[in-house]
Structure 1
Amino acid sequence: MIDESSIEDSAVTVERRSPEDVFSLLANDVRIEILHALGETPDTSLSFSELQARVDVADSGNFNYHLEKLCGSFIRKDDDYELTHAGEQIIGAMLAGTYTADATIEPILLDWNCLLCGGAMTAEYFGERAHISCQTCGKGAVFPFPPGCLTQFDRSELPAAFARWLRQLVKRTIAGFCHVCAGRVDGALARLPGGTEANPKPSQAAFECQRCGGGMRFSGATLATFHPQVESFFFEHDLHLLAGHASRAWSRLDRFDSETLETDPPRLEMTFAHGGETLTAEIMPDATIRTVQRYATDS
């Protein structure tokens, strides 16, 4: 019988190898071919002979030498061979062009204007980042997007693809995981500089990774749109959050506003109104949503 008390008291043990040791394993064409061969059918393990046939290395001894080098780090060996999680990540990064591709996409005019200045909104790509921003004031969102994914979409489809990718990055961050290293992420509302006591600038949700120090910052409105009741409000009013950056849906609202309820510690209230209904979401200092209220708008 399992002793539950020993489970609760036991520490988490993680064995680590140096990055230099692990990535040096990939400095060989045969080993890269082996990983690619397993990546062709990631849900199926392969026998030694099946894997060797895919890689097409005649010398069994030479093939086995390189295969064993990968075992334990990028390949799991049982009766047959399959990729470890690390192996899947390496193959995924190669296919996504993370290490091997570079690209530039000229600005694409979007079908809504900047909510801050009314300027033209565009989507473009350079420096391995997607840019959804205003051509007049420069405000908007900049975020990493795998260059190898660009060829999976027509040019006209890219703005929505960028927006969907950003949405999953934000969703992962809100769930508490760094989109770069998968470390733990904690959130907090952070005051923007430049406000006044009479008119403080709205706060941003700032999420910082405890492992790599990276993270994401986005508006309270962006954070609010991930709450199930807020998502339902937009969906029921035919305001599609996946059709473009969230500001596209905000631009179609009858009313869109934010109010700083307190500054120390900061609390923020977002207001969305459309089609005779109003929804408010209160955002707490730790960048969580405490209350959401939805009611008929007074006529």
Structure 2
Amino acid sequence: MHSRDAPVSVDSDSEQAFSLLADETRLAILRVLADSPNEPLTFSELRERVGVPDSGRFNYHLGKLTGRFVKKSDAGYEIRLAGWNIVGAILGGAYTRGDDIGPVPVDPPCPACDGQVEATYVDEHVTVRCADCDKTILDAGIPPGVLEGYDDASFPEVAERFVLSLFSQARDGFCASCRGRMEPRLVTNTDELAPSDVCEEAQAIYSCTRCREELIAGIGMAFLDHPAVVSFYYDHGVDLSQPNLWGTAWRDKPTLTVVSDDPLRATVDFVVDEDTLTLVIDETLAVHDVERSPAS
């Protein structure tokens, strides 16, 4: 499983928006308004909380934010959704513990060799890798603020839950980075993947049409919340609402088989104990048929 960021082109409207935030006073205004989401603040209240004695200077900076990031009404000033996103990005990048964590031992053992799996967090990236065979199970970018308030022992589970949330949004069609539209596609030829991609068996890719962010994973992640898959695993004592990326749910990872090329159709087999769940999917990862039967 891997998340990848591609180069992003920034249009003039985006550049203008960011230029409005190039001042500490303006960022402080957004922070204060975010601390009072249900309480519009008057000009005087807002200026006092921000701590700017010069009324004219404060009015200038507040005026630059009003409209795009701040809403003005008869009741006072309130933060707009765009302002919320800016404050969220600031808090997401905040981290006071230090950058590096781990290696932290992770259970269960490596699905490839039964060796010890370890998780590390370095340079805003979490990596889950087998210490014995060096198989990489997870490589994903995580904002530092996600891990704030957790101890080292909790780090792997927190990282996993965050990555699950990214894929949940992607499956629903939304980019977690820019809120753009995510387009899913089935990859049947791994030559399409870059040499650096850690998921050598990756068969599901979600690409943002706006910022070009990509999430890459094995085929099982594409159907983690499909009703048939959820009930299938639940019947076998596995709750997929709990962290399972490198846990019991994927130790016998689903297998993909191409059954036709035009139109492209493939089957995905989930096998647990003596049962098999088969999904018939197309190139957009849409499910066309479901069949459950004893394993052959």
TM-score, normalised to structure 2, is 0.82
Alpha carbons 1:173, 1:207 under 8 Å: kept: yes
Q: CA deviation at 1:99?
A: 9.8
Give the aligned partner of residue 124 of structure 2. 128
Q: Are 1:137 and 2:112 an aligned pair?
A: no
Cα distance between partner residues in 2 of 1:249 and 1:292: 22
Give the aligned partner of residue 87 of structure 2. 91
Structure 1 spans left out of the alignment, 5+ residues? 1-15, 195-200
The superposition leaves residues 36-59 of structure 1 with CA deviations (integer Å, 9 ceiling, x where unpaired) of 101112233222222122112222
Alpha carbons 1:102, 1:147 under 8 Å: kept: no
The superposition leaves residues 141-193 of structure 1 with CA deviations (integer Å, 9 ceiling, x where unpaired) of 21121102222212121111111111110111111122222222221111243
Cα distance between partner residues in 2 of 1:102 and 1:42: 30
Give the aligned partner of residue 24 of structure 1. 19
AA partner of residue 213 (structure 1): R
Higher RCO (CA 8 Å, separation ≥ 6 residues): 2
Cα distance between partner residues in 2 of 1:170 and 1:286: 15
Cα distance between partner residues in 2 of 1:231 and 1:280: 13
Most deviating of 167-176 and 201-210: 201-210
Give the aligned partner of residue 288 of structure 1. 286
Give the aligned partner of residue 194 of structure 2. none
AA partner of residue 280 (structure 1): T
Give the aligned partner of residue 171 of structure 2. 174
Distance change in 2, residues 1:266/1:99 (3 Å): farther
Q: CA deviation at 1:246?
A: 2.1
AA partner of residue 53 (structure 2): A
Cα distance between partner residues in 1 of 2:135 and 2:283: 28
Aligned residues, how many? 274
AA partner of residue 126 (structure 1): V
Larger Rg: 1
Cα distance between partner residues in 1 of 2:227 and 2:109: 27
Distance change in 2, residues 1:241/1:202 (3 Å): same
State the identity as a percent: 33
Give the aligned partner of residue 232 of structure 1. 231
Secondary structure class of the residue paired with 1:46: coil
Q: CA deviation at 1:70?
A: 0.8
Cα distance between partner residues in 2 of 1:41 and 1:17: 31
Cα distance between partner residues in 1 of 2:68 and 2:216: 34
Cα distance between partner residues in 2 of 1:142 and 1:98: 21
Q: CA deviation at 1:257?
A: 4.0
Structure 2 spans left out of the alignment, 5+ residues? 1-10, 192-199
Alpha carbons 1:46, 1:82 under 8 Å: kept: yes
Give the aligned partner of residue 3 of structure 1. none
TM-score, normalised to structure 1, is 0.81
Secondary structure class of the residue paired with 2:212: coil
Cα distance between partner residues in 2 of 1:30 and 1:224: 46
Q: CA deviation at 1:126?
A: 1.3
AA partner of residue 293 (structure 1): E
Secondary structure class of the residue paired with 1:90: helix
Alpha carbons 1:159, 1:244 under 8 Å: kept: no
CA RMSD for the aligned pairs?
2.7
